[in-house]
Structure 1
Amino acid sequence: MDITLKYGHSKKTLVFPDQAEVDVLEPTSLPLIEDLAEAMDGALDRPLQLPRLEERAAPASVSIAVPDETRPFPTKTLLPLLLARLHRAYPSLRPEDVTIVVGGGLHPPHDREALERILPEEVLADYTVVPHDAKRAPMTDYGNTSRGTPVFVNKAFADGDMKIVMGLLDPHQFAGFTGGAKGMAVGCAGAKTIQGNHALMFHEKAQAGVREGNPVREDLNEMGRMAGVYLAVNVVLDKNKQVVGLWAGNPEAVLAAGAEVCASVYGVTIEHQYDIVIASCGGHPKDICLYQAQKGLNLSSRAAEPGGKILLLASCGQGIGDEDYFEYVCRFDEPVEVFEDFKQNGFRMGAHKAFLFSRTLNAFEVAVATELDQSVLGSCMMTKADPQERIDSWLKSFEGRVRVGVVPNANATYFTLASGGGSGE
């Protein structure tokens, strides 16, 4: 049996012998939205829990948050459609009145070359574009959320009279789902804000697919209200990064509607856990760096038997992806040491990613097929492997039939057991 999986900008084909009982754990397919222009106009004609743009007083200025290149959001298609609608709705609104903030949270701010990869030429030429810098950008302070998270937002976004967020609605390993105001509340937020929010990830309901009662997600929603995010434009993509859902409106209403569709695509029920799990992050940009690929490792681990084996396919063409994480993880030799440090010193950004990696590394045997050097990967307490060689080796270590789960879209697919007993770590 041959299975081809995405890997960076290319693919890898893996061969499984007859002794392997292989299940491909794929997202559910939904009909594609063929005409995005029509879908965008339709969503803005019937915004969720908001009046149409044309029924609202013209804003003096507009700020729009869009994702950075680690997210496969179709910015080049959808942003011009939104801008055109804004200018039709408000003839007095000039391009110089619109600021576009490329929100990447704690990711390094995009340079000109990266901006050209995600934004149309005419947008870069006519509009003010600000790459977000969580550590150095001027911030507006909105106070603290009810959970104590300080809310600092990039001033370029906060200064907009009308604030709009565009982005993906995806499963998230501890926020439940992305989307809604998250493109501002993390994407355009200060480092202290992101740290305060992510420190809530240890709650029992802070997990993929859980929205109600999830403190991380509810904290993000509250930040959106505090900062006055007016409109969200969110999409759900299928496994091939094609749009299957598009909504516009009040951020929390968009989140609720989109999460239902997202769960129907990426929430997968399994009858049992697997001896071996082969997980592809889904190719570029989901495996653009190790920092992003961690999501695929975490979510796919929920399909593995405790103590099972996980092979992660993650090209990581841009390396580790976060200096704070790498500097921190290099201090340790074993996952248990990360746990102990967390107990003693508390939550810190970058360190939290080491904790998430270590939680999986401590519970499973993990190998990574990647472009990263073994010396670098070894500093992260992981082992590089040729994918076919490692699969063959693992299969030989079992007697009789071996249950293998293949996850082609590991960064977004999350699992529950049919018995309702939960799964994974």
Structure 2
Amino acid sequence: MVLHQQAQLAMLPMRRRRVVKIRIAYGKHGLDIEVPDSYQPVVLRSAVDHPLADPQAALRSALRDPIASPSLHDIAARALERTSGGRARAGIVFNDISRATPNDVMLPVIIEELRDAGIRDEHITLFNATGTHRENSVDELRMILSDDLVRRYTIVQNDCTAEGVHTEIGTTAAGNRVKVMTQFLDQDIRIATGFIEPHFFAGFSGGGKAVVPGLAHLETILHNHGPHHMDHPDAIWGKTEGNPLWEDLAEAAALAEPVFLVNVTMTPDQRITAVFTGDRVEAHAAGCRHVARHALVPVDRAFDIVVTSNSGYPLDLNLYQAVKGMSAAGRIVRPGGQIIVAAECWDGLPDHGLFATLVMEAGSADELLDRLRGEDLRVRDAWQAHILALLRTKAEITLVSDRLTTGDIPQALCGWAPTVEDAIRDAALQMDHTPSICILPDGPLTIPVLPVK
């Protein structure tokens, strides 16, 4: 077989060619990659969003002057007036280890406001919004909160499969029976924290997601994350209005009101850029508008090869989470093209939950989709397997990871390469033309938007 000239070029050692050097997010320290400059790679990054000089002061100010809500101090003071003996209880929901939320910055400021209003430490409970994720270890809690917070406060983690710890509080218009942790519902003051970024099927993170799915029972999550939503064309990045999954989620979270929202936005290196507090709906909407201005990046065409990270630590902890980076790349890869995702995957596929079982047993993407769409299969993590299979029906997928290799991954759905350079070279060999390449160094923190046809 006679190789195309570009494929021949692809096999030459990197040192004999001029290259473009790009640093992408990977693990805690990043990854430097080299792309032949003959490919004229397009590098997409979000618009610059400058970090706050004093995030604690900004948080304090936002708590005292929130959006469409009384201040947190006033909410706490009124709760104390309503309860006998000044025993008002406050519950603060925080994100688990899979999210880069600056809990160690946010929670002390929130707690300071509560204490200033008269709420006692022993009446403050921290709720870990694990959703369907595993519980976090004590060491992990110390890492994402702080030694001081772990020592001083009661921490409750959501076990979505536990019986007798969730209360059914209503049914959404879509027929979702909403069950949320009873202990959170028993709090006199309910505070949901988080950070807002684009989300691959909910539109944006933050807002009511801290409550549902964060503190929800598995049955509620399975309904919201079902195949009818995964297949819906409006359950996509950057869209909440008209997104049936988000609207069901928001309606579910509303059943747990009143909830005071504390959300932030961040730079790719996880510094706070803005704070949005107050009414769960209006504060979140304001934050989403802010993120959209920076993270949604217009692109004029699709590409043969799209290289993406998964935003580095902590989001690239496993293949399950790396589907998010693949999904961002999938927006601009041409049909039949190649997605290359660099994710450390220190947590494996992982070995907890059902994602690994679903994808490793798959004989093909189409076979997996048929199974997931079957009425008899409603299991945790099916949604992530669903999105991975949808992406594989559009493009080839290659994982670059130094923690996983070929034998560890679902070969029917994705391949493996030791380096991004190897993955690009292998993809170029399969093409009869010079490939067009796009790089997403920050992964799903940057969401490409193609022109509407």
2:121 is aligned, of 84, 90, 95, to 95
1:58 corresponds to: 79
Unpaired runs of 5+ residues, structure 1, are none
> 317-326 vs 302-311, which deviates more?
317-326
Mapping 1:372-387, distance limit 5 Å: 372-378=404-410, 381-386=413-418, 387=420
Q: Does 1:364 align with 2:364?
A: no
Which runs of structure 2 are paired with 1:141-160 in the superposition (5 Å)? 141-160=168-187
Residues 19/379 of structure 1: CA separation in 2 closer, same or farther (3 Å cut) = closer
Which of 261, 277, 282 in structure 1 is aligned with 2:311?
Answer: 282
The CA distance in 2 between the partners of 1:349 and 1:202, in whole Å, is: 17
Q: How far is 1:399 from its partner?
A: 5.1
Q: Which of the residues 107, 115, 119 maps onto 1:79?
A: 107
Distance 2:73 2:120 in 1: 16
Q: 1:114 aligns with which of 134, 140, 143?
A: 140
- Residue 135 of structure 1 is matched in structure 2 by 161
SS at match of 2:25: strand
Contact 2:62 2:277 in 1 (8 A): yes
The partner residue of 1:307 within 323, 331, 336 is 336
Counterpart in the other structure of 2:422: 389
Alignment of 1:172-321 (within 5 A): 172-199=199-226, 200-321=229-350
Residue 327 of structure 2 corresponds to residue 327 of structure 1: no
CA change 1:62–1:380 in 2 (3 A) is: farther
Mapped to 2, the partners of 1:68 and 1:183 lie a distance apart of 10
Deviating more after overlay: 376-385 vs 93-102: 376-385
Structure 1 residue 18: Cα displacement:
2.8
- CA spacing shift, 1:343–1:134, aligned 2, 3 Å: closer
| Deviation of 1:141 (Å) | 1.5
**3-state secondary structure, aligned to 2:215:** coil
Quote the Cα distance in structure 2 between the aligned partners of 1:344 and 1:221.
26
Corresponding residue for residue 340 of structure 1: 370
The answer to whether the 8 A contact 1:21-1:402 is kept is no
SS at match of 1:378: coil
1:47 to 43, 57, 66: 66
Letter in 2 for 1:144: T
Shift of 1:393: 2.9
In the alignment, what sits opposite 2:35? Answer: 16
Within the candidate set 128, 151, 160, 1:125 is matched to: 151
Instruction: Name which one, 1 or 2, has greater alpha-carbon Rg.
Output: 2
1:353 matches 2:423: no
Change over 3 Å in CA distance of 1:130–1:343 after alignment to 2: closer
SS of the equivalent of 2:50 reads coil
Amino acid at match of 1:404: I
Residue 168 in 1 paired to residue 195 in 2? yes
Q: Which residue of 1 aligns with 2:55?
A: 36
- Separation in structure 2 between the aligned mates of residue 330 and residue 218 of structure 1, nearest angstrom: 32
Aligned-residue offset at 1:344:
2.9
SS at match of 2:222: helix
- TM-score (norm: length of structure 1): 0.94
Shift, 1:313, TM fit: 0.3
How many Å separate the matches in 2 of 1:399 and 1:20? Answer: 14
The Cα offsets for residues 1-59 of structure 1, whole Å up to 9 and x where unpaired, read as 11111211232222122320111111111221120111011111211111123333034
Deviation per CA, 1:198-230: give whole Å up to 9, x if none: 123333221111111112111222122211142
Contact 1:275 1:402 in 2 (8 A): yes
Deviations 1:184-206 (A, max 9, x none): 11111111111111123333221
Return closer, same or farther for 1:65/1:299 CA change in 2, 3 Å cut-off.
same
Select between 249-258 and 381-390 the one with higher mean Cα deviation: 381-390
CA–CA distance in structure 2, aligned partners of residues 225 and 276 of structure 1: 42
Q: Partners in 2 of 1:390 and 1:226 — Cα distance? A: 47
Partner of 1:26: 45
Larger displacement relative to structure 2 (244-253 or 347-356): 347-356
Query: What CA distance in whole angstroms lies between the structure 2 residues aligned with 1:108 and 1:343?
Result: 25
SS of match in other structure, 1:366: strand
Counting matched residue pairs gives 418
User: Aligned equivalents of 2:272 and 2:448: distance in 1?
Assistant: 22
Normalized against structure 2, the TM-score is what? 0.89
DSSP-derived class of the 1:32 partner: coil
The range that moved more, 73-82 or 112-121, is 112-121
Q: CA-to-partner distance for each residue in 1:77-130, whole Å, 9 max, x for gaps?
A: 110011001111x22x11111110111110011121111111122211221111
Aligned partner of residue 170 in structure 2, secondary structure: strand
CA distance in 2, matches of 1:388, 1:204: 33
Q: Which stretch has the larger CA shift, 93-102 or 371-380?
A: 371-380
Whether the 8 Å CA contact 1:326–1:380 is kept in 2: the answer is: no
User: What is the CA-CA distance between 1:396 and the residue it aligns to?
Assistant: 4.4
**RMSD between aligned residues:** 1.6
Counterparts of 1:212 and 1:187 in 2: how far apart (Å)? 21
Q: Distance in 2 between matches of 1:208 and 1:341?
A: 25
Q: Secondary structure at the match of 1:384?
A: strand
Letter in 1 for 2:105: T
Query: 2: distance between equivalents of 1:414 and 1:281?
Result: 12
